[in-house]
Amino acid sequence: MLPFNRSGNQFSEENLGSGHRQSVIRLGELFPSATRTGTGEVIVTSCVTDWRKVEPGDVFVALPDCDLDGDDGHLHAQRAVSHGAIAVVCEQPVPVFDAPTYLVPDSRIALGEICQALMGHPCDSLEVIGVTGTHGKSTTIALLESIFTAAGKQCGKLSSLGCYDGMAYSAGMSDAPSAPDFAARLARMVAAGCTHAIVEISSQALSQARIAGMKLGAVCVTNVTDAHLDRHNTVQCYRDTKRRVLEYLSPVGMTVLNADDPVSLKWLDQIEGPVLTYGLERQAEIAASVVDCQANEQTFVLTAGSDSVAVRTTIIGEHHVSNCLAAATLSLSYGIDLQTIASGLEAIEQLPARMERVDCGQGFPVFVDAADSPEALRASLRVARRLAEHRVICVWDKAASGVGSEHLAISQVLNRLADLAIVTRALPCCEHTNTDVEVVANRNEAIACAVAIAEPGDVVVIAGSRAAARHGQGLAFGESDDAMTDREVTRQLLYAREQPTLRLIA
């Protein structure tokens, strides 16, 4: 964790820790076209977005909605000045007369630009690779990091599966880190001697301009589906938001698109810089074909032009092959050879809740998967369907969230691809239902039920898996089972199933 001393909204040289000095910037030079009130040069050494956290010398950036309570920061500009703010950056005129104000088109963008400038523009010293998309971002980043490590590159990463700043690993980041967090973490990578940084970029980070001020050397779009409508309201709004990632690409930066994704492929003719495509189903510059898929591994041939290489992965499914293709295509754009790419892909044997196999000698495959949308669930159950000799048993309890159309889509996926669905809430009825549905009280009971009734020839998929922040860790003394991951719960239940029953004979 970064040592933010006051709040995540506060940005000062304390964010980098001892031994690191940030740049001194002049607001007039950073925002030359801003409409300004007041006189005198404003030199910035720290900025803040919460007026309650202002200390003398801070620049207050008024955001339309503050992180803490959703309040409009413009309403508190005068309070920020009374607390010692030496200037206000805003996107609406504010009644402040005791300090200079800078009126900019978007204060969120201004915040990101200030933070990056205070950290000395780390993207100028670091090749930053942005990965976005509805699904596959974190997996692609893990694969790419493995490839770059195999190639001998010093690489940092910011991902929901984990972060690395060149010196230490830390827990995965939130869906949308703050602009100060992005800038400080990149600066730490520069200080640690990293040459590359791989950054997961969510639609929330794009819609709120959290990566403003960053310059991306390459961008990969894994796919763009009809997701997050609760946040973006319409499908087109979500797609437009995803497309904004291209605005941060350097003029000579590489764009990598999934040829199997019709939405992102439509952007192909609108990109002026270099582009590479990858795909399984459609013609692409980097392609793959699956040769064999078993419950514990799969083999595919990766092809780039006239060169090809065989890759064996212990994570299975065509969606994983697609993620491997994304990482391979990015790596090829940085001059890494196919054999090194194959070695890096094969080195990732398991990822938390990414078709993660739980094997306790039970005689049937059990997979824990993070699939939390109809599209992701469909991809996972298709794999299970191909492997199953008898039934596909699916545990699902995410249906309590989302909109009605998503509930219905989930029901349709389960009806088409699962023989038995064990859920914690009844799903909308579908016509011609062929799937048996068992409604239980909670997720742990659903997992226990699936494990208890599965037989050889069946395949169990525990979908919508709980976050893997504690993946691989045991319970500490005094912790309850509620803190356990699905993998840990499943493993305990499988071991209990296989234990022989003790009988006393008189």
Q: What angle do CA 275, 281, 287 make, to 5 degrees?
A: 50
Token pair in block for residue 452 = 């208890």
Residue 16's contacts (CB-CB under 8 Å, 6 or more residues apart) are 22, 119, 184, 187, 188, 191
Region 113-136 average pLDDT: 96
What is the spatial distance between Cα 413 and Cα 396, in angstroms, rounded to a whole number? 11
Identify the DSSP state of 38. S
Distances (CA, A) of 335 to 8, 58, 220, 328, 348: 38, 44, 16, 11, 21
Domain CATH code at residue 240: 3.40.1190.10
Q: Are 301 and 378 members of one domain?
A: no
Residue 368 near residue 486, CB atoms below 8 Å? yes
Asked if residue 8 belongs to a domain, the reply is no
Asked if residue 504 belongs to a domain, the reply is no
Asked if residue 3 belongs to a domain, the reply is no
Is the pLDDT assigned to residue 3 strictly greater than 50?
no
Of the candidates 229, 255, 247, the one whose C-alpha atom is nearest the C-alpha of residue 131 is 255
The confidence band for 282, taking pLDDT boundaries of 50, 70 and 90, is confident
| pLDDT, position 430 | 62
Return phi, psi of residue 260, to 5°.
-85, -5
Q: Are 34 and 139 members of one domain?
A: no
Is the pLDDT assigned to residue 2 strictly greater than 90?
no
Q: Are 174 and 293 members of one domain?
A: yes
Residue 143 near residue 50, CB atoms below 8 Å? no
Report the chain's terminal Cα–Cα distance, integer Å. 61
Of the candidates 18, 38, 191, 214, the one whose C-alpha atom is nearest the C-alpha of residue 115 is 214
Q: Are 374 and 404 members of one domain?
A: yes
Q: Are 409 and 329 members of one domain?
A: no
Return phi, psi of residue 77, to 5°.
-60, -45
Q: Are 155 and 223 members of one domain?
A: yes
Region 273-298 average pLDDT: 93
| pLDDT, position 18 | 33
Domain boundary among 313, 347, 381: 347
The helix (run of H) or strand (run of E) holding residue 35 is strand 35-37
Runs of H (alpha helix) within 53-154: 77-82, 107-118, 137-150
Q: Are 285 and 403 members of one domain?
A: no
Residue 159 near residue 353, CB atoms below 8 Å? no
Q: Are 329 and 365 members of one domain?
A: no
Residue 492's contacts (CB-CB under 8 Å, 6 or more residues apart) are 484
| pLDDT, position 398 | 66
Asked if residue 279 belongs to a domain, the reply is yes
Residue 141 near residue 205, CB atoms below 8 Å? no
Region 439-454 average pLDDT: 93
Distances (CA, A) of 187 to 115, 126, 481: 10, 9, 39
Q: Are 154 and 74 members of one domain?
A: no
Q: Are 226 and 316 members of one domain?
A: yes
Model pLDDT for residues 160-193, shown as the tens digit of each residue = 999 999 999 999 887 778 999 999 999 999 999 9
3-state secondary structure of 166: coil
Domain that holds residue 99: 13-117
Asked if residue 400 belongs to a domain, the reply is yes
Whole-model pTM? 0.88
Asked if residue 1 belongs to a domain, the reply is no
| pLDDT, position 429 | 67
Domain boundary among 317, 347, 377: 347
Model pLDDT for residues 475-491, shown as the tens digit of each residue = 333 334 445 889 999 99
The confidence band for 349, taking pLDDT boundaries of 50, 70 and 90, is very high
Distances (CA, A) of 167 to 159, 163, 382: 16, 10, 40
Asked if residue 506 belongs to a domain, the reply is no
The helix (run of H) or strand (run of E) holding residue 20 is none
Domain boundary among 281, 312, 347: 347
State the total domains in the chain: 3
Q: Where are the beta strands (DSSP E) in 74-215?
A: 87-90, 101-103, 127-132, 155-159, 162-164, 169-170, 196-200
| pLDDT, position 65 | 78
